[in-house]
């Protein structure tokens, strides 16, 4: 029979574990699917004792047997394994290398011990093959083997109870009933002779082994009987793992899927000559296998198309039915794990399941968070929209914010329920809190914007209501200016505050915040007035000059003054100046409170009547305005300091002096123009001294005629030369101009007279003659005049 076709070399003669071969074997016989429903049977015994022959007949395997005609030599090296054909449960059988082999030498028992320990550790039933004639013999071939078995058993920490089935080969006529007690006695003796650790010194053999004995006829001599007996023995292996079955207590059994790894690890530990702790090994195998299964499930989860699609989608948009979908994918994955890991140690299995669940949750958590993020941002957007609409509909600010927030949060809670993954106990409260904070922040920002809009609306209204009127009132500067401004400010302030307070009602602010805002608005109103006053104070000099000019240049009826000479320029100047001083005093300080100051009197005393001021203040200070602050007026209310007032006044006076001097000059000029008669004394002197000439003129009328002609000529020249106009620019330019124009004018005059004369002569010879005489007279008088010039 060819072993190579179905049996597998588990461990070769050099002690190498055939990992690939075992994995292949497991796949071939589908061992992994058996869970705990499988049994392992091993056979050990002296070399060439017919082990392989028995196994092949008992389990329908194909282990290599020695050719009977070639003599007894070693055929089985290492450990072979095969699956028993046609037996339930799945039974894996192992054929071990024979003991006492000549091939390894008498002293080399290391492999024998190792393989025995291995068989005890992984098998439920161990067949001990022995010759019938060895029973009761001191030098029996199986004695060292049994000794080895019991010795290595001590190296198994908390071993499982294994069935040792002694198969007596080549049974004789002696009935089994007689052989068995002898054999058991032999076994007991060997057990007693084996040195035991303290803990097991008194432990009976039955605590470790179920000892069973069976006897078979010789295969070679009584083959038929042998086969019959083997067939009957085979029946005992059916349902061997069922309660009362041939298998031991199976305490250390590992699930079939972990068989390969378990066997590998056990062999490794044995080879390293360490003690085998089977319970710990079982846990270790469970740990490794469960971990393997878990990581397999984890990677198959990551490859899951449904999950991948969901993960990708959730990065950009919310996924409908997220929670249900993910719960079901994860559930399927965990169920697969449960199915595969079901036979492993419960503690390990549960721990690894938890581990897998945690890893799965860890894997899906970012997707869950993204989903929560979508819900949160969606809810926030809805809140913003709803809130905006509510405000546009005119709903009160706080009520709108409250209602919209409540609705938004409840919607969020509803949507979060749909995202819940059943395997998790994740709490969305942090995201909920974040949403609440965002809602609050948005509400606050809208409130701030609305309040600032409201404030600026009322501030603009106040600006409009106060700026221009205050400017006009300050321009009018009188005793009533500040009281009027105060009254105006009070009225507008009350109006604005009442409107503003009404608008603030919807915000449901606490009283202190509301009062603060109202008082800010009031302060703003006052600020407008103060700013306007400051602005006007900056232009006070221009205002003063304007006021001075207006009052100085116009009379009481606002008619422009003509300086005829009768006006009291000094008085007018004083009045105009005092009005300007009034303006200065009004502009010097803000008087919105009830405080009284003495600025006006001080200014008037110091500036209008400096001499009186000097004399009255001699005892106190030299100059009452040599200060940078007013008495009783705080700097916050000061618009112009005393020093500034003084300087402004000086400048004002300098700049208005010209106007006054112009007026004085005009008046003087006017006076001079109106006073053309010489003084009386000159007239008297003229009469006395010119009496003779006057009398001469009276006696000779020709003189009078001549003087009259000279006057006419002079008058004609005066008119022609426009002398009065020429001298307007001054005497010298007048002389120069007249002298250059004199000759052409005379010539022109003569020519005109000549033309006139010619025209007259043509019309009337008599007239012509007289005209000629006239012309000659004019010419002569002109020449005479020129000569006199
Ligand atoms: N006397 C006797 N010989 C047998 C019996 N069964 C098998 N043999 C013979 O014993 C020889 C060895 O048989 P195997 O089955 O190869 O023995 P083994 O124990 O597997 O040998 P190793 O694997 O080398 O240890 C063969 O020649 C068999 O014919 C038996 O019941 N009685």
pLDDT at 362: 92
**Looking at the predicted structure, is the pLDDT value of residue 463 above 50?**
yes
How many Cβ atoms from other residues are within 10 Å of residue 566's Cβ? Answer: 8
295 known member of a binding site: no
Q: Residue 530 to residues 120, 476, 622: CA-CA distances in angstroms?
A: 108, 17, 32
Determine which residue's CA is closest to atom 29 belonging to ligand 1: 68
Residues above pLDDT 90, as percent of the chain: 42
Determine which residue's CA is closest to atom 28 belonging to ligand 1: 68
Which position has the higher pLDDT, 371 or 475? 371
Nearest atom within ligand 1 for CA of residue 226 = 31
Question: How does residue 779 score in pLDDT terms, banded at 50, 70 and 90?
Answer: very low
Highest mean pLDDT among 62-76, 192-206, 494-508: 494-508
Q: What is the residue-wise DSSP string for 165-221?
A: EEEEES--SS-HHHHHHHHHHHHHHHHHHS---GGGTT--GGGTEEEEEEE---TTT
For residue 50, the CA-to-ligand 1 centroid distance in Å is 3
Phi, then psi, of 46 in degrees rounded to 5: -60, 155
**Rounded Cα–Cα distance for residues 9 and 290 (Å):** 27
**Looking at the predicted structure, is the pLDDT value of residue 654 above 80?**
yes
For residue 186, the CA-to-ligand 1 centroid distance in Å is 24
Q: Is 115 in the pocket of ligand 1 (CB under 6 A)?
A: no
Highest mean pLDDT among 64-78, 184-198, 266-280, 292-306: 292-306
Pairing mode, if any, of strands 276-277 and 156-157? Answer: parallel
Q: Is 48 in the pocket of ligand 1 (CB under 6 A)?
A: yes
Instruction: Name the least confident of 369-383, 407-421, 643-657, 679-693.
Output: 679-693
Compute the average pLDDT of residues 167-178.
89
Per-residue pLDDT tens over the stretch 106-117: 445 678 888 888
Q: Is 7 in the pocket of ligand 1 (CB under 6 A)?
A: no
**Rounded Cα–Cα distance for residues 684 and 702 (Å):** 26
Instruction: Name the least confident of 273-277, 549-553, 645-649, 745-749.
Output: 273-277
**Rounded Cα–Cα distance for residues 398 and 408 (Å):** 15
ipTM for the whole predicted complex goes beyond 0.85: yes
**Looking at the predicted structure, is the pLDDT value of residue 777 above 60?**
no
Per-residue pLDDT tens over the stretch 324-351: 999 999 999 999 999 888 888 888 999 9
Question: How does residue 457 score in pLDDT terms, banded at 50, 70 and 90?
Answer: very high
Rounded to 10 degrees, the C-alpha dihedral 338/342/344/347 comes to: 60
Chain centroid to CA 148: 75
Compute the average pLDDT of residues 652-658.
91
Per-residue pLDDT tens over the stretch 760-770: 777 655 444 44
Question: How does residue 195 score in pLDDT terms, banded at 50, 70 and 90?
Answer: confident
Running DSSP on this structure, what letter comes out for residue 728? G
Tokens encoding 736:
């120069």
Nearest atom within ligand 1 for CA of residue 64 = 16
Per-residue pLDDT tens over the stretch 612-634: 655 555 544 567 788 888 888 88
For residue 616, the CA-to-ligand 1 centroid distance in Å is 154
Compute the average pLDDT of residues 548-565.
87
- The position carrying tokens 């008082």 is 519
Chain centroid to CA 625: 60
Instruction: Name the least confident of 161-175, 214-228, 710-724.
Output: 710-724
State the sign of the Cα–Cα–Cα–Cα dihedral 126, 130, 135, 137. Answer: negative
Q: Is 218 in the pocket of ligand 1 (CB under 6 A)?
A: yes
For residue 137, the CA-to-ligand 1 centroid distance in Å is 21
Residues above pLDDT 70, as percent of the chain: 90
Tokens encoding 211:
């000892």
Tokens encoding 743:
């000759």
What is the maximum span of the chain, computed from C-alpha positions, in angstroms?
A: 221
What residue spans define the domains of the chain? 8-274, 277-426, 451-538, 542-670, 690-788
Question: Closest Cα partner for 345 from 400, 287, 396, 301?
Answer: 287
To the nearest whole number, what is the mean pLDDT of the chain?
85
Q: How many residues belong to the chain? A: 789
pLDDT at 774: 45
Q: Is 68 in the pocket of ligand 1 (CB under 6 A)?
A: yes
Asked if residues 342 and 280 have their Cβ atoms less than 8 Å apart, the reply is no
For residue 123, the CA-to-ligand 1 centroid distance in Å is 22
Probe residue for ligand 1, chosen from 61, 66, 103, 130 as the CB with the greatest number of ligand atoms within 8 Å: 66
pLDDT at 280: 79
pLDDT at 785: 42
3-class SS at 300?
helix
469 known member of a binding site: no
Q: Is 62 in the pocket of ligand 1 (CB under 6 A)?
A: no
Q: Residue 240 to residues 213, 248, 346: CA-CA distances in angstroms?
A: 16, 9, 24
**Looking at the predicted structure, is the pLDDT value of residue 531 above 60?**
yes
**Looking at the predicted structure, is the pLDDT value of residue 103 above 60?**
no
**Rounded Cα–Cα distance for residues 362 and 346 (Å):** 24
**Looking at the predicted structure, is the pLDDT value of residue 6 above 80?**
no
Task: State whether CATH 3.40.50.300 applies to domain 8-274.
Answer: yes
Determine which residue's CA is closest to atom 15 belonging to ligand 1: 50
**Rounded Cα–Cα distance for residues 213 and 128 (Å):** 9
For residue 61, the CA-to-ligand 1 centroid distance in Å is 15
227 known member of a binding site: no
Chain centroid to CA 263: 58
pLDDT at 778: 41
Per-residue pLDDT tens over the stretch 29-44: 888 888 888 999 999 9
**Looking at the predicted structure, is the pLDDT value of residue 234 above 60?**
yes
Using DSSP, how many helices (H) and how many strands (E) does the chain show?
Answer: 26, 9
49 known member of a binding site: yes
Q: Residue 19 to residues 63, 268, 718: CA-CA distances in angstroms?
A: 19, 12, 149
Question: Closest Cα partner for 713 from 677, 685, 752, 687?
Answer: 752
For residue 29, the CA-to-ligand 1 centroid distance in Å is 27
161 known member of a binding site: no
Determine which residue's CA is closest to atom 8 belonging to ligand 1: 50
Burial readout 22-61 (b: 16 or more C-beta within 10 A, e: otherwise): beebbeebebbebbeebbbbbbbbbbbbbbbbbbbbbbbb
For residue 230, the CA-to-ligand 1 centroid distance in Å is 15
pLDDT at 768: 47
Determine which residue's CA is closest to atom 7 belonging to ligand 1: 50
Q: In what order do the strands lie in the sheet with 90-96?
A: 8-11, 79-83, 90-96, 38-44, 125-131, 162-169, 209-215
Per-residue pLDDT tens over the stretch 347-369: 899 999 999 999 999 999 999 99
Nearest atom within ligand 1 for CA of residue 65 = 16
For residue 496, the CA-to-ligand 1 centroid distance in Å is 121
Compute the average pLDDT of residues 698-723.
82
**Rounded Cα–Cα distance for residues 748 and 743 (Å):** 8
Q: Is 47 in the pocket of ligand 1 (CB under 6 A)?
A: yes
First to last CA, the chain: 176
pLDDT at 68: 55
Nearest atom within ligand 1 for CA of residue 70 = 27
Nearest atom within ligand 1 for CA of residue 129 = 19
HSE at residue 424, side-chain half, CA atoms within 13 A, is 23
Compute the average pLDDT of residues 259-267.
90
Question: How does residue 563 score in pLDDT terms, banded at 50, 70 and 90?
Answer: confident
Instruction: Name the least confident of 65-69, 138-142, 464-468, 513-517.
Output: 65-69
């Amino acid at each position: 029979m060819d072993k190579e076709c179905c049996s597998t070399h588990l461990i070769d003669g050099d002690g190498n574990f055939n990992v690939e071969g075992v994995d292949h074997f497991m796949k071939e016989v589908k061992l992994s699917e058996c869970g705990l429903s499988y049994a392992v049977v091993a056979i050990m015994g002296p070399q060439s004792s017919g082990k392989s022959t028995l196994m092949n007949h008992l389990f329908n395997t194909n282990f290599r047997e020695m050719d009977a005609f070639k003599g007894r030599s070693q055929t089985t090296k290492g450990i072979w394994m095969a699956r028993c054909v046609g037996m339930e449960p799945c039974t894996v059988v192992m054929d071990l290398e024979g003991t006492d082999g000549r091939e390894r030498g008498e002293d080399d028992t290391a492999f024998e011990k190792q393989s025995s320990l291995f068989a005890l550790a992984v098998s439920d039933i161990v067949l001990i093959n022995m010759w019938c004639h060895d029973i009761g013999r001191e030098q029996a071939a199986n004695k060292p083997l049994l000794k080895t078995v019991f010795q290595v058993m001590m190296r198994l920490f908390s071993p499982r109870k294994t069935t040792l089935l002694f198969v007596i080969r080549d049974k004789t006529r002696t009935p089994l009933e007689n052989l068995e007690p002898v054999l058991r006695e032999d076994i007991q003796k060997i057990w007693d002779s084996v040195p035991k650790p303290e803990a097991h010194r008194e432990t009976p053999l039955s605590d470790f082994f179920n000892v069973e004995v069976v006897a078979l006829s010789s295969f070679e001599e009584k083959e038929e009987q042998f086969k019959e007996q083997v067939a009957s023995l085979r029946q005992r292996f059916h349902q061997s793992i069922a309660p009362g079955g041939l298998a031991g207590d199976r305490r250390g059994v590992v699930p079939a899927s972990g068989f390969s790894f378990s066997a590998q690890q056990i062999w490794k530990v044995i080879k390293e000559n360490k003690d085998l702790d089977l319970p710990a090994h079982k846990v270790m195998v469970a740990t490794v296998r469960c971990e393997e299964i878990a990581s397999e499930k984890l990677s198959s989860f990551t490859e899951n198309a449904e999950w991948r699609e969901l993960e990708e989608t959730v990065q950009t948009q919310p996924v409908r039915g997220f929670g249900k979908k993910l719960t079901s994918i994860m559930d399927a994955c965990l169920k697969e794990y449960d199915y595969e890991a079901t036979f492993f140690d419960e503690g390990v299995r549960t721990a690894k399941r938890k581990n897998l669940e945690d890893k799965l949750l860890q894997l899906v958590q970012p997707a869950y968070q993204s989903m929560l993020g979508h819900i949160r941002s969606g809810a926030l957007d809805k809140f913003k929209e709803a809130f905006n609409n509510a405000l546009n509909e005119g709903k009160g600010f706080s009520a709108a914010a409250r209602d919209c927030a409540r609705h938004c949060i409840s919607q969020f809670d509803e949507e979060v329920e749909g995202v819940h993954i059943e395997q998790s106990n994740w709490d969305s409260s942090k995201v909920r809190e974040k949403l609440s904070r965002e809602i609050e922040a948005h509400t606050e920002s809208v409130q701030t914007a609305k309040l600032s809009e409201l404030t600026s609306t009322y501030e603009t209204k106040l600006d409009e209501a106060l700026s221009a009127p205050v400017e006009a009132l300050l321009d009018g500067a009188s005793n009533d200016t500040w009281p009027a401004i105060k009254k105006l400010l009070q009225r507008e302030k009350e109006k604005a505050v009442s409107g503003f307070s009404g608008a603030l009602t919807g915000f449901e602010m606490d009283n202190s915040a509301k009062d603060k805002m109202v008082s800010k608005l009031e302060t703003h109103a006052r600020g407008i007035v103060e700013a306007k006053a400051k602005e006007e104070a900056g232009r006070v000099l221009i205002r003063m000059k304007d006021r001075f000019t207006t009052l100085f240049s116009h009379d009481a009826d606002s008619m422009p003054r003509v300086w005829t000479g009768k006006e009291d320029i000094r008085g007018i100047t004083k009045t105009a100046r005092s009005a300007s001083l009034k303006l200065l005093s009004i502009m010097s300080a803000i008087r919105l409170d009830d405080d009284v100051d003495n600025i006006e009197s001080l200014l008037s005393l110091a500036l209008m009547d400096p001499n009186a001021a000097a004399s009255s203040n001699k005892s106190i200070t030299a100059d009452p305005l040599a200060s940078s602050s007013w008495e009783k007026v705080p700097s916050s209310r000061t618009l112009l300091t005393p020093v500034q007032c003084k300087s402004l006044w000086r400048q004002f006076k300098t700049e208005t002096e010209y106007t006054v001097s112009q007026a004085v000059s005009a008046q003087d000029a006017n006076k001079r123009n109106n006073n053309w008669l010489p003084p009386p004394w000159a007239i008297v002197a003229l009469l006395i001294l010119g009496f003779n000439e006057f009398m001469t003129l009276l006696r000779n009328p020709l003189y009078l005629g001549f003087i009259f002609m000279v006057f006419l000529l002079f008058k004609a020249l005066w008119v022609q030369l426009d002398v009065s106009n020429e001298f307007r620019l001054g005497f010298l330019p007048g002389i120069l101009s007249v002298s250059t124009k004199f000759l052409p004018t005379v010539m022109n005059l003569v020519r005109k007279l000549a033309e006139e004369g010619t025209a007259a002569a043509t019309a009337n010879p008599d007239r012509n003659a007289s005209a000629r005489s006239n012309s000659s007279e004019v010419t002569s008088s002109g020449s005479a005049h020129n000569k006199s010039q």
